[in-house]
Structure 1
Amino acid sequence: MKKIFRQYLAWVARLMIGRYSPEVIAITGSVGKTSVKEAVWTVLEGRGRIRKSEKNLNTEIGVPLTILGAKPAKSAGGWMAVALRAIGEVLTRGPRYPETLILEMAADRPGDIEYLTSIARPKIAVLTAISPAHTEFFSTIEALAEEKATILRALPEDGVAVISRDNDLAWEKRGKTKARVISFGFHEEADVRAVEADLVSDGGAPSGVVFKILYQGSAAPVHIAGVVGRGVIQAALAAAAVGLAKGMNLVGIAEALGGFDSPPGRMRIIPGIKNTTIIDDTYNASPASAQEALQALRVSGVGEGARKIAVLGDMLELGALSVESHRSIGKLAAGSGIDLLVTVGERVRDLGAAAREAGFPEDRLEHFKNADEAGRYVQEKLRQGDLVLVKASRGMHLEAVVRELMAEPLKADDLLVSGH
């Protein structure tokens, strides 16, 4: 029944695309898809009627729902109503259908991207970094890269491919398309490049990022508050490339990015109890994103007497790469200037073991089975001004740790991934 309904949704979504001919901007990659989607929305907002994927509607069900402007139902009757409304939308052409669709596309299994782009062929495709993430159903990282690169093959010759220049796996796939290619990143050869990137501090704790965007000899400064890490800058650069591909002015793009609000659980800064600062990166985790999060923690400052604490949970869906990936992050954590390392889950035991082998002190390493236990422990150990990174795959629900530590828990539904 589910298969039939999936096919029906895809059929109606194709009809909708054919009837209204919106410009499709499709985004895929191993990390940063949602942040890029939100950044593209921020840049393009106000330039016509635009619709974007909401929450995690990036699958074989979610993408058609976005095209149809529908939400997931909670019952069989609800799904029937979705089906009836969908065909009604196609049959009764209205003037308000979006001119642009910003669609996030996930690749959990081989063939996913080909299927999704057969429903909505992109005019602009964004390929973020490719790294071990959701590799359970892929034999190698190269197989995953080939799957992600399918989005480039779907482009028409007059389309635009926006590709990370910092990620070799992504960049080497540029030959998969005859469309115009715009690269982005920190790489000196990137078309849309970030320079002079730095943290903004408030009382010693991080409060945002600043950088300049370079493009064809022009430069524009950007300040994004409430978030840290290279990931948000990468997302901003990708969005800038999309804006430039659509003929926007660099200065206008930079001004728009100043209002970018990073999605919940993506390196967001949240005030904590005891005048502490929390870096909430609980939405998802892969080796690449964990490395970036630890780098952000390493370069962040703290006040006198304050410490850096990392709460790290399992990275899920890594398949055969799980042990190696967790161990690599453990070795990295040992050299990241962390004063207290707290691990949560089963797979992350490999991370803790590797950290110990790399010289991390045993008395500053604690392990817990679940987020609630870890949250209570960290809350008891907090000192004034501490900086706490909380990072794990979504399935570990480490937002419970953030909720335990945040200064205003009544705002949890608005600020944490569990409320979205």
Structure 2
Amino acid sequence: VIKWRRVCLKWLWVLATPGRYYPEILVLELGVDRPSDMHYLLSFIRPTVGVVTNISSSHLEFFHDLDNIAKEKGELIEALPADGLAVLNADDTRVRAMAKRSNAPVQTFGLLEQAEVQGSDVIFSYKDGVPQGLSFKLNDEGRVVPLRLPHIVAPHLLYAVLAAVAVGIYFKVNLVEAASMLQEFRSPLGRMQLIAGIKRSTIIDDTYNSSPVSALAALETLEAIVAKRKVAMLGDMLELGIDSEAGHRQVANRAFEANAAVVIAVGDRMGRAVKDAARHYMGVQAFYFDDPELAGKFLRTTMKDGDLVLVKGSQGMRLEKAVEEVMSESDRADEFLCRQTPEWRKKAYVKP
């Protein structure tokens, strides 16, 4: 309570002295996890530019289907002024359809040819066999700028980069200048972060949260990267509602198809899905745990030199605890892992 009071007092002071402290451009994330959240947020926020990146099943428990999620997020686009800008993912059909709801001009982004701000020719970079980010071509109205992202390893994170470029164009940021600045782009902790592991392994830490869409994207990255041996540790995906069983089954099957030599499930939901999928795939070792720390300790004993390990699960699965067991510098967990505040560190894992 005391901390929240400090935050409120700080921003009341900022609002009281806008000329001195208030930013020229304020970037806000309007998170919605149940119906009417966007309506509430827009009751006191008046955005000029609105960005919708994708429609996924993260909160199906409360929205019941993807169309309802799209309807909710589309309220942001409807609220934009005529002199603003709607920035929409052209590769997502539900997002692309929001253009009809916009009073503002629309700028699309994506990896397919239909996008106005497009990324193409994506390739991975390596040094001594270890992934070192990726490169791609940035295309906008006939202009092509090569761009290397040394801190980004997941192609699906390029959507955030392309959306940023589209917003930058609206605010008159030069394309070459934008490309130069984006070379320092890093994803937030727990979102497809590359971390050095024990035994000269590489960990893809994607433990912040999980849904079928993001888990499938992470597994595509695991499959695409060249490595001696691949391991997938997957935790339960929560808040999926009636689609939970189908979503876990889809992700489990994809894990076995992604050239993983070992698949480790953490949690009952993923455990059942992995056990069922294992019956149809030969030559892949499958294991189940109901505790993230135990899973991490097991992984520590089974890792081999040069392994590439993907770790992903919903926030409630606390799989950052497993990553801490196998990272080469566990004493620096607070620098590299999500949920490392004293409050989070004190919270014991509670099986959902």
- TM bin (shorter chain): over 0.9
Query: Do the aligned partners of residues 127 and 307 (structure 1) sit closer, same or farther apart at CA in structure 2, a change above 3 Å counting?
Result: same
Partner AA of 1:335 in structure 2: E
- The reply on whether 1:316 has 2:238 as its aligned counterpart is yes
Aligned partners of 1:254, 1:114: CA distance in 2, in Å?
Answer: 35
Partner of residue 54 from structure 2, selected from 105, 125, 129: 129
Partner residue, 2:80? 155
Aligned partners of 2:15, 2:178: CA distance in 1, in Å?
Answer: 34
| 1:86 CA displacement | 5.1
Query: Do the aligned partners of residues 354 and 124 (structure 1) sit closer, same or farther apart at CA in structure 2, a change above 3 Å counting?
Result: farther
Which contiguous aligned blocks of 4+ residues in structure 1 show a shift greater than 6 angstroms? none
Contact in 2 for aligned 1:323/1:350 (Cα 8 Å):
no
Partner residue, 1:114? 39
| 1:284 CA displacement | 1.0
Query: Do the aligned partners of residues 354 and 187 (structure 1) sit closer, same or farther apart at CA in structure 2, a change above 3 Å counting?
Result: farther
Partner of residue 333 from structure 1, selected from 218, 230, 255: 255
Partner residue, 2:152? 227
Partner residue, 1:290? 215
Partner residue, 1:193? 118
Contact in 2 for aligned 1:194/1:213 (Cα 8 Å):
yes
Deviations 1:254-313 (A, max 9, x none): 1011011221111111111111110111111111111110000001111xxx31000000
- Where structure 1 has 5 or more consecutive residues not aligned to the other structure, the ranges are 1-74
| 1:418 CA displacement | 2.1
| 1:82 CA displacement | 5.0
Partner residue, 2:325? 404
Percent of aligned pairs with the same residue? 39
Contact in 1 for aligned 2:14/2:22 (Cα 8 Å):
no
Aligned partners of 2:308, 2:190: CA distance in 1, in Å?
Answer: 16
Partner AA of 2:88 in structure 1: I
Aligned partners of 2:282, 2:208: CA distance in 1, in Å?
Answer: 26
Query: Do the aligned partners of residues 410 and 140 (structure 1) sit closer, same or farther apart at CA in structure 2, a change above 3 Å counting?
Result: same
| 1:353 CA displacement | 3.3
TM-score scaled by structure 1?
0.78
Give SS of 2:324's match.
helix
Partner residue, 2:169? 244
Aligned partners of 1:268, 1:345: CA distance in 2, in Å?
Answer: 22
Aligned residue pairs total 341
Partner residue, 1:49? none
- Map residues 2-13 of structure 1 onto 2, 5 A cutoff: none
Partner of residue 264 from structure 1, selected from 185, 189, 199: 189
Query: Do the aligned partners of residues 192 and 347 (structure 1) sit closer, same or farther apart at CA in structure 2, a change above 3 Å counting?
Result: same
Aligned partners of 1:321, 1:337: CA distance in 2, in Å?
Answer: 26
- Map residues 36-115 of structure 1 onto 2, 5 A cutoff: 75=1, 77-80=2-5, 83=8, 87=12, 89-91=14-16, 94-115=19-40
Contact in 1 for aligned 2:266/2:290 (Cα 8 Å):
yes
Partner residue, 1:255? 180
Contact in 1 for aligned 2:169/2:175 (Cα 8 Å):
yes
Aligned partners of 2:15, 2:295: CA distance in 1, in Å?
Answer: 50
Aligned partners of 1:93, 1:196: CA distance in 2, in Å?
Answer: 44
Aligned partners of 2:3, 2:164: CA distance in 1, in Å?
Answer: 35
| 1:178 CA displacement | 1.7
| 1:96 CA displacement | 2.3
| 1:93 CA displacement | 5.4
| 1:150 CA displacement | 1.0
Query: Do the aligned partners of residues 348 and 95 (structure 1) sit closer, same or farther apart at CA in structure 2, a change above 3 Å counting?
Result: same
Query: Do the aligned partners of residues 331 and 161 (structure 1) sit closer, same or farther apart at CA in structure 2, a change above 3 Å counting?
Result: same
Partner residue, 2:104? 179
- The reply on whether 1:344 has 2:269 as its aligned counterpart is no
| 1:349 CA displacement | 2.2
Aligned partners of 2:317, 2:338: CA distance in 1, in Å?
Answer: 12
Contact in 1 for aligned 2:15/2:22 (Cα 8 Å):
no
Query: Do the aligned partners of residues 218 and 382 (structure 1) sit closer, same or farther apart at CA in structure 2, a change above 3 Å counting?
Result: same
Partner residue, 2:201? 276
Query: Do the aligned partners of residues 267 and 360 (structure 1) sit closer, same or farther apart at CA in structure 2, a change above 3 Å counting?
Result: farther
| 1:342 CA displacement | 0.3
Query: Do the aligned partners of residues 122 and 206 (structure 1) sit closer, same or farther apart at CA in structure 2, a change above 3 Å counting?
Result: same
| 1:411 CA displacement | 1.6
Give SS of 1:239's match.
helix
Aligned partners of 2:139, 2:44: CA distance in 1, in Å?
Answer: 35
* Superposition RMSD in Å: 1.7
Contact in 2 for aligned 1:113/1:147 (Cα 8 Å):
yes
Query: Do the aligned partners of residues 380 and 239 (structure 1) sit closer, same or farther apart at CA in structure 2, a change above 3 Å counting?
Result: same
